Amino acid sequence: MLQADPILQTKDLSVYYGANRVVTEVSLDVLRNRITAIIGPSGTGKSTLLRCFNRMNDLIPTFHLSGEVLFEGNNLYEPTVDATDIRYQIGMVFQRPNPFPKSIFDNVAFGPRINGYNGNLADLVEWSLQRAAIWDEVKDRLKSSALSLSGGQQQRLCIARTLAVEPTVILMDEPCSSLDPIATLAIEELMRELSEEYSIVIVTHNMQQAARVSNYTAFLMAEGDRVGQLVEFGESRQIFTNPQDERTEAYITGRFG
């Protein structure tokens, strides 16, 4: 049921660091309110592709790209677009939890504050923490340091922090790679709930995770100088049970990569 309502699209996207091409002519549609997984061997440009969606790569001096990245139909890399405007609409959760060395409350309140939120901050913080399924664990110690939380709690706090600026898309770069299986399941459950309201793109090395949570899967690979090419993209059910490309099949059955 491929519905034609993409929220993010890339068109012939190639990404370079200096002279090095690390994403090659990728054309991909990320659908609204779905979870899209990006899988592939290490160093094939998955993180780079993900970071194009919220212009995080702008921070790297040697970065440049060709092709287009569209968000709700508008080119993100148009000179008139302000990257900071993009980034709170397209939130990002990182591989390693990176809470600020501030209180739990201030971590969640940071985004709304800097974006000039003038509603009730306490309500927004509670709502965000509840959405991230961590409210019950922290509601009695909102003032204590976020660094006192466990890794899994920190990651959910980072998700809450992202939700607090009310994004429409959430990008996640291996969000569970530093977590234990129980915390991982909690985050996966959370992603499924969140996908009712948000569009989610997740990079993962964990095939089972991609198969479990995602609706669509993109498989990136490197072949010679064509690093980061999109080999196959489609519904996860199909990619994981009946891949069309033999390279995809080889990868998901663990025969290489």
Ligand X SMILES: Nc1ncnc2c1ncn2[C@@H]1O[C@H](COP(=O)(O)OP(=O)(O)OP(=O)(O)O)[C@@H](O)[C@H]1O
Residues engaged in binding other proteins (CB under 8 A) = 54, 56, 59, 61, 84-89, 91-92, 94, 96, 98-102, 110-111, 114-115, 145, 147, 158, 161-162, 165
Instruction: Please answer whether residues 141 and 91 qualify as being in contact, where contact means their C-beta atoms are separated by less than 8 angstroms.
Output: no
Taking every pair of Cα atoms in the chain, the longest distance, rounded to a whole number of angstroms, is 55
**Type and span of the H or E element at 77:** none
* 154 is a site residue for ligand X (CB under 6 A): no
Q: Which is nearer to other proteins, 173 or 232 (CB)?
A: 173
* 46 is a site residue for ligand X (CB under 6 A): yes
Out of 42, 80, 118, 242, which residue is the one contacting ligand X (CB under 6 A)?
Answer: 42
Instruction: Please answer whether residues 128 and 190 qualify as being in contact, where contact means their C-beta atoms are separated by less than 8 angstroms.
Output: no
Q: Which is nearer to other proteins, 154 or 248 (CB)?
A: 154
In sequence order, the 6+-apart residues with CB closer than 8 A to the CB of 66 are 12, 13, 14, 16
Burial of 94 (0-12, 13-18, 19+ CB in 10 A): middle
Compute how many residues bind Mg ion; rule: CB under 5 A. 1
Burial 217-240 (b: 16+ CB within 10 A, else e): bbbbbbeeeebbbbbbbbebeebb
Other C-beta atoms lying within 10 Å of the C-beta of residue 200? 23
Binding-residue pattern over the window 36 to 65 for Mg ion, x denoting contact by CB under 5 A = -----------x------------------
Kindly indicate which of the ranges 41-49, 102-110, 112-120, 126-134 contains the residues binding ligand X, using the contact rule CB under 6 A. Answer: 41-49
Out of 10, 47, 199, 209, which residue is the one contacting ligand X (CB under 6 A)?
Answer: 47
Burial 155-174 (b: 16+ CB within 10 A, else e): bbbbbbbbbbbbbbbbbbbb
In sequence order, the 6+-apart residues with CB closer than 8 A to the CB of 241 are none
Out of 16, 17, 117, 127, which residue is the one contacting ligand X (CB under 6 A)?
Answer: 17
Q: Which is nearer to Mg ion, 14 or 47 (CB)?
A: 47
Q: Which is nearer to other proteins, 165 or 210 (CB)?
A: 165
Binding-residue pattern over the window 127 to 166 for Mg ion, x denoting contact by CB under 5 A = ----------------------------------------
Which residues here bind ligand X, judged by CB under 6 A?
A: 17, 22, 42-48, 60, 62
